[in-house]
Amino acid sequence: MFDFFKYQSLGNDFIVLDFLNKTNAYIDVFLNPQKWPALAKKLCDRHFGIGADGILIIRYREKREIEALLYNADGSSGFFCLNGLRCIAHYLVTQRNQAASLSMIMNKKIITAQVKKTGQVVNVSLSLPKPHYQGMQVLTIHRKKITGHIVDAGNPHFVIFDEIDPSWLAQYGHKIESNPFFPQKTNVEFIWPDTTSSTPTYHLLVFERGCGMTLACGSGAAAAMTALAEQGEIKPGKTVTFKMQGGDLGSFIDAEGRLYQEALTQFIFKGNYKLD
């Protein structure tokens, strides 16, 4: 049996498992590759499990640095997740009494977080190195030519500047995600400007690798921000709002090239789970 905490940021929901008091040997046994993927799928199942987009495990590294491990709803290992890191920061500050300003490691990247709590509202800002832009690629998906921008945001992304109907993405998103051009699969984002807004605002629709369509994706917003900057659409220091199905996220890139994001997080519930 183990305790768990459930959080969400922009509708991306996660099961947080706190292994800060566990040894790495214990964690290695718990994450047995012969058993863990099936257990992760079971925990994330919304009908027969706890239900989530993914599982976040936090542990200490050798120098007492906090490291986060991510597993997707399909049981696969995830590389990076900014909404997940926002949820972990919320957990560490409110449940573990960490300082409101803290740093975490995920996939060898150091991310700094600032947690602001006003009553029941928790807002988490993240700072990270700007993702790596890797050029453009044209794919043909269901007789439709799609030109996208390839971005490494700690995980792979394919950012497409085009307005798309959610039903199309739900039906064909997996064909982009698993296209042979992406041997490790990719996250997919469609982005288009909000013409009703007087400030830089974009709609962002997400198909996440290992999860399918989700309400939001923090690293997807970071990838979209990087693609916009590469195309000269935004200037350093200028805040951009991304409107996703799960809510709004604010972001900017500073003069030194660091990327900043801010969004709300929420504690949902906690409990314990008995292993079979």
pLDDT in tens, 136-149: 999 999 888 999 99
34-71: b or e for each residue (b if 16 or more CB lie within 10 Å)? eebbebbbebbeeeebbebbbbbbbbeeeeeebbbbbb
Q: Tokens 């800060």 belong to which residue?
A: 20
Amino acid letter at 99? A
pLDDT at 142: 86
pLDDT at 35: 85
pLDDT at 24: 84
pLDDT at 144: 87
Three-state DSSP state, 42 = helix
Amino acid letter at 210? G
Q: What is the pTM of this model?
A: 0.92
Query: Can you list the residues of the chain whose pLDDT is less than 70?
Result: none
Pick 132-256's CATH classification: 1.10.1470.10, 3.10.310.10, 3.40.1010.10, 3.40.50.300.
3.10.310.10
Any idea where the domains of the chain sit in the sequence?
A: 2-125+265-273, 132-256
pLDDT at 102: 96
d(CA 229, CA 236): 8
Distances, alpha carbon 128 to alpha carbons 112, 221, 247, 262, in Å: 7, 13, 21, 12
* One fold for 2-125+265-273 and 132-256: yes
Q: What is the CATH number of domain 2-125+265-273?
A: 3.10.310.10
pLDDT at 231: 95
Asked whether 67 and 31 are in contact (CB, 8 A), the reply is: no
Work out the number of other CB atoms within 10 angstroms of the CB of residue 22. Answer: 16
* Side-chain half-sphere CA neighbours of 146 within 13 A: 28
pLDDT at 37: 87
pLDDT at 62: 80
pLDDT at 78: 87
Distances, alpha carbon 275 to alpha carbons 39, 56, 101, 271, in Å: 9, 17, 35, 13
- Which residues on neighbouring strands pair with residue 212, listed in sequence order? 208
Active-site residues, by number, are 81, 217
Distances, alpha carbon 35 to alpha carbons 29, 38, 41, 55, 243, in Å: 10, 6, 10, 15, 38
pLDDT at 29: 87
pLDDT at 157: 98
Q: Tokens 């959610």 belong to which residue?
A: 166
pLDDT at 97: 95
